[in-house]
Amino acid sequence: MTAIIGNGKAATTNPARSSAPLGGAMAFLGIDRCLPLFHGSQGCTAFALVLMVRHFREAIPLQTTAMGELSTILGGAENVEEAISNIRQRAAPRLIGLCSTALTETRGEDAFGDLRLMRERHPEWSDMAVVLASTPDYAGGLQEGWATAVEAVIAEMVPEGRPDPSPLQVNVLPGSHLTPGDVEELRDIVAAFGLEPIVLPDLSGSLDGHVPRQYVPTTLGGTEVDDIPRMGASAVTLAIGEQMRPAAELLERRAGVPVRVFDRLVGLRPVDAFIAALSEISGRPVPANLRRQRSRLVDAMLDGHFYFAGRNVAIAADADLLLSLGGFLADMGCTLQAAVSTTASSALERVPADSVVIGDLDDLERAGAGTDLIVAHSHGRLAAEHLGVPLYRVGFPVFDRLGAAARVTIGYRGTRDLIFRIGNILIEGHEGHESPGHGSMERAHDGIAEAPLAVD
């Protein structure tokens, strides 16, 4: 049983968590021709914008209601109205994704009510959707903001009632812990069974790093707005990550679409479970290329397990990513010496560690002395420097390495790549200073070629 504990500190030190509105905006960025909008002071937007620009290495469309001193005192509804009108005029989006912030939530604005009145005053707004996600910075983090935004999209755009089901159509709700590269891999896997996925949100269409032919003020690519109302007709909703359960269950309540939650897609057994489910849903056997990929993963596990065995890892991540990667590392024989989650989640109970601290990168650093590897986002570099331990960068933000958005770690293929990447770091770290336990194993492994074969 994993113990979930708080860090008991008043000063969060070297934060691991990004804010909920940022997560909300990121989810909206996975919808085609969308423009996310923060209801807050312009700094809230500037920080989130810059961080996403640095992570994705893309120009990011994100706007602000620019709350000032006066509007903070008198109420911000006018700012919201003006912002939406301005954006509609200048950028003509199909969808505006409005995220509240701590500033406006602390004021206690009735943003939902305000928005309803605005819509009545502006019939011309009917040519676009406006979705409001309640994402105060003081509750949750990136993962929760992401999940809230997806829920809000479903609540606003998927009609209630069960339409005629399309037996091959499936909803895929990827959590915030999946990269654009992961989402693409996920869609390909689902499509390999002849299924027609509607992926919400779909960062692989918008933030995959492509060069557009002209300037577009909104997102370009992602979930098609017109596909969202059709989600009620899907045969099933595949929620990836515990964080997506509420959104999937909302779809179930609204349109009767059954839910399947997959909390991990990294590692042999979790991927097997997913593939088996797809085979069952589609009524088709597992395609040959996936069987081959599975066999390659098994081979990589056999080749790589020496280097993971008995190694200690300190990991900090948002809850679902923590479960995903922590579970994988344990599957490969590592010990999670320290596990830090940014927020609480029922997923944490399944993290294979003695305890999970809900805390920051300072907690990671303090518990991580003597580990072989730190797994965290780019800010983990401070802890890694101080401890003299290699850092494997995962999650958000990764601003000091290339290709964070393109990296694939899910499915058989992604898991195999992950074994190679992390395995090589562990090998490299090991070449300098051999620990006796591991060294003997490596010698045994190296010795295979020279050892006389036992022939009957």
Task: Please report, as ranges, the residues that interact with another protein according to CB under 8 A.
Answer: 9-15, 17-19, 21-22, 37, 40-51, 53-54, 57-59, 63-69, 71-72, 79-80, 82-87, 90, 101-103, 106-107, 136-139, 141, 211-215, 217, 362, 379, 381-382, 399
Closest to another protein by CB, 286 vs 369, is 369
Closest to another protein by CB, 57 vs 296, is 57
CA distances from 177 to 80, 88, 322 (A): 30, 31, 9
- Shortest spacing between CB 174 and another protein, in angstroms: 22
The radius of gyration of the chain from alpha carbons, rounded to an integer in Å, stands at: 23
DSSP for 384-428, please give it: HHHHT--EEE-SS---SSS-TTT---SHHHHHHHHHHHHHHHHHH
d(CA 324, CA 267): 8
Closest to another protein by CB, 32 vs 137, is 137
- Shortest spacing between CB 157 and another protein, in angstroms: 22
Closest to another protein by CB, 135 vs 243, is 135
Query: Strands 129-133 and 196-199: what pairing?
Result: unpaired
DSSP for 316-362, please give it: EE-HHHHHHHHHHHHHTT-EEEEEEESS--GGGGGSSSSEEEE--HH
Closest to another protein by CB, 44 vs 336, is 44
Closest to another protein by CB, 32 vs 58, is 58
d(CA 44, CA 48): 6
Closest of 420, 422, 369, 368 to residue 394, by C-alpha: 422
- Shortest spacing between CB 42 and another protein, in angstroms: 5
Element (H, E) at 168: strand 166-174
- Shortest spacing between CB 74 and another protein, in angstroms: 12
CA distances from 321 to 124, 381, 420 (A): 42, 18, 19
Closest to another protein by CB, 21 vs 327, is 21
d(CA 320, CA 124): 40
Closest to another protein by CB, 68 vs 437, is 68
- Shortest spacing between CB 356 and another protein, in angstroms: 18
- Shortest spacing between CB 323 and another protein, in angstroms: 21
CA distances from 382 to 2, 368, 385 (A): 27, 12, 5
- Shortest spacing between CB 414 and another protein, in angstroms: 26
- Shortest spacing between CB 38 and another protein, in angstroms: 10
**SS3 at position 36:** strand
Are the C-beta atoms of 222 and 199 separated by less than 8 Å? no
